Structure 1
Amino acid sequence: MADANRQVTRQPRGDATRQSILEAAEKVFADLGYAAARLEDVAQVVGIRRPSIVYYFPGKQQLYDQVDADIFASMHEFVLKRVEGVDDPMARLLALLDAWLDFLVGRPTAARIIQRLIADPAPRGDNPVRFSESALHDIEAVIAMGVSAGTFRPVSAMHILNGVAAGALFYVCNAGQLGDARAYDPANPAELERFRALVHKLAEAAVIS
């Protein structure tokens, strides 16, 4: 009974440590990229030793995979809440784009990691959509809905992804990369709403005949 009680009390601490490792790893991978990041860097951010990370994640690839999995799973869950009950194709598309934008603004490390994944697919090996499949399915589904209903012209979901939705990544990641005179705060409400309005206009122009 005493051993069982000790196990119960240890579990929340273990879960908290694992979560702290994931959060630190997301920041380290976002800042340094997969190749340059080390488990020691993550351990330093958390305030633990490297062997403690290996207890939860056997190596850097497994930790990176879990960070990616968490980002896309969290983004998919965020989207589902935003589009729930939205049946009109255009309203659903805009709700999806808004969800992606708001998710990335609120979690800029995720935006930087996704941008790094696009630029360097090597860490994903032979399955580049292993974790991003849910995001691709989300936009394919809403475009297919609109085309089927006759609301959208026949258009490639990947064109909408690349030509409209991807702007959210640049909006978040580029804020401090354009020189002091052009710097902006992506989370500033006025700035964010101006960009959101532009995304809406681009989306409407892209799918309406």
Structure 2
Amino acid sequence: MTIPMPATRKERADATREAILYEAERVFAATGFRAARLEDIADAVGIRRPSLLHHFSTKKMLYDAVEQRIFENMHAVCEARTAGVEDPTARLLAHLDAWLDFFIDRPSAARILQRLVADTAVRGDNPVEFSYVALEDMDRTLAYGIARGAFVPLSTMTFVNGVAAGILFFVCNSRQVGEQRRYDPSDPADKAVFRTLLHKLACTAVLP
């Protein structure tokens, strides 16, 4: 990641911290928390390990900052896409579109979430320490439709596991299915086909 040289010391520190988070997300997505090395992240940023530790004193603190930022950014995108959408079905589909587009634009975030599902030890006794914000967003979207009589009663986790989780597989698995089945999640045609299916699944799940 190339970062411009800001003028003040604080601006330089902020830019370095942002570069560390960017490269750390990429490394954690590729190798997982346990295998990731702070030296590799520092090298990618163009700094030494002690400089990285000045910003994040442990690998766990850096990982937590990466995960927190993912979910905060995901929340911001969701809020922007659903703001002012009053029709419950349209709001739900906009919510799913926000998640889909977010992860297609940022596949490293999708891979980190897949790793979190598989490796529950990373979050320890508080598995929703940072992901709670995304789950609460979906709580509100579904509750909005249910309260207006537009949706059948359905738990957030049933919907997320049965419908929304497919987004992670679509984004992450394109190279894991063999040459003859390979696709490109960012290709407009492939994305449009998947988005249509996602919308159909969502409507089937929630509409009476």
Structure 2 matches for 1:24-173, cutoff 5 A? 24-173=23-172
State the distance in 1 between where 2:141 and 2:41 align.
38
Give the distance between the partners of 1:73 and 1:180, measured in 2 at CA.
35
> Would you say how many aligned residue pairs link Structure 1 and Structure 2?
202
For residues 23 and 122 of structure 1, what CA distance do their matches in structure 2 show? 23
Letter of the structure 1 residue corresponding to residue 20 of structure 2: I
Q: Which runs of 5+ in 1 are unaligned?
A: 1-7
What amino acid is aligned across from residue 124 of structure 1 in structure 2? R
1:108-137: CA deviation from partner (whole Å, max 9, x where unpaired): 000000110111011111111111111000
Report the TM-score, using the length of structure 1 for normalisation.
0.95
1:205 is matched by which residue type in structure 2? T
- Partner letter of residue 154 of structure 1? P
In structure 1, the residue matched to 2:3 is none
Aligned to 2:193: 194
Shift in Å, 1:184: 0.9
Identity rate, percent: 56
Which residue of 2 is the match for residue 183 of structure 1?
A: 182
Counterpart Cα distance in 2 of 1:201 and 1:96: 14
Please list every run of 5 or more consecutive structure 2 residues that lacks an aligned counterpart in the other structure.
Answer: 1-6
Could you tell me how far apart the structure 1 residues matched to 2:86 and 2:129 are? Answer: 28
Please give the alpha-carbon distance, in whole angstroms, between the structure 1 residues aligned to 2:152 and 2:124. Answer: 35
Deviations 1:129-149, CA, capped at 9 Å, x for gaps: 111111000111111111111
Alpha-carbon displacement from aligned partner over 1:76-97 (angstroms, at most 9, x marks no partner): 0000000000011111100000
Corresponding letter in the other structure for 1:29: F
1 CA distance for matches of 2:123 and 2:154? 28
2:128 maps to amino acid: V
Deviation (angstroms), 1:38:
1.2
Name the structure 2 match of 1:5. none
In 2: Cα distance, 1:74 partner to 1:89 partner: 23
Give the SS at the match of 2:194.
helix
Larger Rg: 1
Whole-Å separation in 1 of the counterparts to 2:146 and 2:120: 31
Q: Whole-Å Cα distance in 2 between the matches of residues 198 and 124 of structure 1?
A: 32
The letter of the residue matching 2:72 is A
Q: Which amino acid aligns with 1:153?
A: V
Moved over 3 A (4+): none
Q: What amino acid is aligned across from residue 15 of structure 2 in structure 1?
A: A
